[in-house]
Chains A and B, each alone.
Chain A
Amino acid sequence: GGIITQTPKFLIGQEGQKLTLKCQQNFNHDTMYWYRQDSGKGLRLIYYSITENDLQKGDLSEGYDASREKKSSFSLTVTSAQKNEMAVFLCASSFGTNTGQLYFGEGSKLTVL
C-alpha cells in the first residue's frame, strides 16, 4: 500500500501572510488534488494536476497557487491569508482512470489570527 503525507498538520498564520502546504504520495499516481474542507460545504476543489508540471484550476482557485515539480509531490500556497480564516486542506491522489478512487492525506488545518 501507499501513503499520502501532508505537512504541516497544523499551520497558524497572520493576516496577509503567504503560507505553503506540502503533500507527498508514494502510490506513483499521476493525478493529485487539493481540496478545501469547510463544515457544511463538503469538499471543494482548489487545484489539481494530471502530471508533473501540470496545473489545473478548480472551482476555488482564487487566492491560491500550486506547484507540481515532481510526480510525487504537490504543494499549495495561500497567497494572502485572510483574518479569522479557519479551514482544513486535504491532499489526494488517484491513477486518473474513470473508476479509480481518491486516496486522501490526513489534512492540514489552517488557522489565521
Chain B
Amino acid sequence: DAGITQSPRHKVTETGTPVTLRCHQTENHRYMYWYRQDPGHGLRLIHYSYGVKDTDKGEVSDGYSVSRSKTEDFLLTLESATSSQTSVYFCAISEFRDTPYEQYFGPGTRLTVT
C-alpha cells in the first residue's frame, strides 16, 4: 500500500470554526489531491498540487484553501466550516511520468460540521 496517512480520521466541529485536515505521504510523489465524497455525488476534486507551493483549484473549491510547503504534506483548510462541508475527505497522490499514471488514495477523514 502507498504510504499515505490522513489526520485526523474523524472530526466533529461546529459551524464557523476553522478546520485543517492533513495529508502526509512517504512516497515522494509530486502530485497530491483533495477530494470530497458525498452520497449521490461520488468523488469530487477540491484542490490539487503539482509541486511544493504549486496548487490549483478543482471543481468544488469554494470554501476551501490548501497549502503545500513540503513535498510530503498537503493541508486542506476550511476557514469557516459550514454544514454543507460535512463529508468524507480523501487525499490522493500520483507521480508524473510520460504516460498516464494511477492515483493512490488515503484512508479518508470523516468530517461532521454541526
A, B: real partners: no
